[in-house]
Structure 1
Amino acid sequence: MTATSTQPKHEVRDLSLAPLGKQRIEWAGREMPVLRQIRDRFAQEKPFAGIRLVACCHVTTETAHLAIALQAGGADAVLIASNPLSTQDDVAACLVADYGIPVYAMKGEDAETYTRHVQIALDHKPNIIIDDGSDVVATLIQERQHQIADIIGTTEETTTGIVRLRAMFKDGVLTFPAMNVNDADTKHFFDNRYGTGQSTLDGIIRATNVLLAGKTIVVAGYGWCGKGVALRARGLGANVIVTEIDPTKAIEAVMDGFRVMPMDEAAPHGDLFVTVTGNKHVIRSEHFDLMKDGAMVCNSGHFDIEIDLKSLGAKATEVKDVRPFTQQYLLVNGKSIIVLGEGRLVNLAAAEGHPSAVMDMSFANQAMACEYLVKNKGKLEPGLHSIPVEVDKEIARLKLQAMGIMIDSLTAEQTEYINSWTSGT
């Protein structure tokens, strides 16, 4: 779509969806009090005045509140999708029509369109990049070296993106600061665990309407996201098997009460498989051969590479849609494998992503990380930087306050004790 004289340039599915988008954005805002307080402060202080900002995110109702907060702070912002199936078209329309934010995102956009939108974002000549998977930063480094001088820094909130940024820094190509939002306590403890846990199962249920009680669910990966999925699956009555490559995480899964085994041993048992590793081809050709007829596979890692769909396609005599976001692969051996959400993030492809209450803290981290970059322009070394502890604690304090929960404070005697080494037995 081209913009009218009163609208910014944009590419969204249908601007007539804006009223529904606004209604849903307002509903999400009911459970985002921390970001609302930050937005109100930004509106007064304008920390991003004169700053060009690009956000590559899942375009959801929660992301809308982040974009609105950044705009309130004076940012000249452009928003693009970070995943072809995660955009909520009504939200994208509302941000353009009601808030004047340039958005380039459509649910179901092809790879060519996605790549073109990344280039449009970089045409904005950003000073700050909010990335979700590090595609924009990687493209900047590979194709737009001349623009790096304009960059104050970037923020990243996915495990996948952090892995890529570390590799960039190791290779000597990350020459500006990057804020590690993903590892903030108020992000991964809650977003990765409770958000991914609930939204992944939400996506599976919406796509299939199957009863999870009594099913054997194989969770590949026992990081914070895997823990969340495993705990929620058990809570719905499933028998959970965990696969891992890290011995410490495997012990943790065992002591949390889950069976742990390699994927080739788990494959014959699983009714449903969920990958949450951030790595490539966790479920491969040999695993499909071992699966039972009608086994379902899905992914909640950032990219659609955890399930080797190319090898599955090579085994198939037919692929057909059986429900929205649900495809049946009929195999040469007579069995069938069900793939949900095309192997992409099932919680966003088939559902609405994380609940707004948990994204409140994640996006508070994003907003305050951007502010930290601006305030410390020219002072931070290239490479990854943690969210300052005081920022992390302030976000937690604001969340508790909004929930009406009080906690204790140290007494003077307790403060003295924990700062002293002379008191013992």
Structure 2
Amino acid sequence: MSGTEAPRARRVAVVGAGLAGCLLATLLGRRGVEVTVYERRPDPRIAGAERGRSINLAISARGLAALEEVGLREQALERALPMHGRMVHPRAGGRHAAPDFQPYSADGRRAINSISRAELNAALLDAAESTPGVTLRFSRRVTGVAGGRLMIDGVPGDAADVVLAGDGAYSAVRGSLDGIEAGQDFLEHGYKELTVPPRDGEFALDPDALHIWPRGDSMMIALPNLDRSFTCTLFWPRDDFAALDTPGKVRAHFARHYPDVAGLMPALTDDFEHNPVGSLVTVRCRPWVREVDGTLVALLGDAAHAIVPFFGQGANCAFEDCIEIDRCLTETGGRWDLALALYQDRRKPNTDAIAEMALDNFVEMRDRVSSPVYKVAHAAQHALERGLAGRYVSRYELVSFTTVPYARIPARVRKQNLILAAVAGALTLIAGSAAALLGRALCRRSRRSR
């Protein structure tokens, strides 16, 4: 599939009917590409979501821009709850330890949006299914590509010219490809989901915030749902989960470490016992694109670059992959070989950058946000953003409220900080010189008065 007259793909397969796979299929269908989506699970709109595996999505500017492309932005926002900041619950807990609200944006008006992963996936499935040229096939487990065909549970199946693998962090397609250098870096922490149900028909916590209980080496977060419940997620060292092996130990631990919310969880011990402990992994691999027996295979989303969820960018980042593939097809006149090579070159630096920022944000969320020094710095940062509108923008706002490429953000933040340091140094020097001149003037006046 190379050379100046490379044929257009006639049979395109998308592996994985998750968020990215469905969005990409819809984009391809709208440009007249015949595409078949293969999903190992039964249709989740019928079978339902897996217990304890939701981790509510925080959709922000990048994800909304992508959803806009397929007409789902407003529908998503109608089913989302805006969170204008973090509500940090202090270690002391108890009724008299008030949580601290930290707005996400300098003007307090911008928000990230809490939305059910299952609901958004269902909306994207509906969009893909209703797009001419898109076919959904459930309970089809793709295990690789060989001889120009998809391997379904290890057996040759449908033929494909292009395979776009969005089958997750533990991608079977990626694992089947030769020549892929892939690394999986696991945190020592795992995650487990709990629930805070409505209290007297209303939210038990403030729904306008992402709640955080930072505890140094661990934390719990809670995001609001439309049914007025909260989905809580524990991010703990795995040994801590194993240590709480009786209902009594669970209740005692939460009463000690999360006293302001423990009484709001009537199903605490049941959720803790039955909801699984998930893994937190960062996937880095290269290349993302391979040719296998004449079939082009490309990775996207978590299959190419899984990141930890601490910047709320997993889905947003995967959606950007889909938009980039669509854009590259336009720029190359539908030449899949050129388009996918261009997609990889453009996206790889960006996904590497957000992977590092997400890991750093884990430390910030579980530890720094409760520090008095952090609070002062956070307030000063917002003051700078208000005073230098458009010229100084925090890392958080650049990631969450703009579509500036991730790879450009660290350098921009460093440049901003260097300029501020230089200005601060100059002002200190000027102030020091002024003080010295004033001191000498006062001395001369004092001598004359004698």
TM-score normalised by structure 1 residue count:
0.33
Higher RCO (C-alpha under 8 Å, 6+ residues apart): 2
**Structure whose CA Rg is larger:** 2
TM-score normalised by structure 2 residue count:
0.32
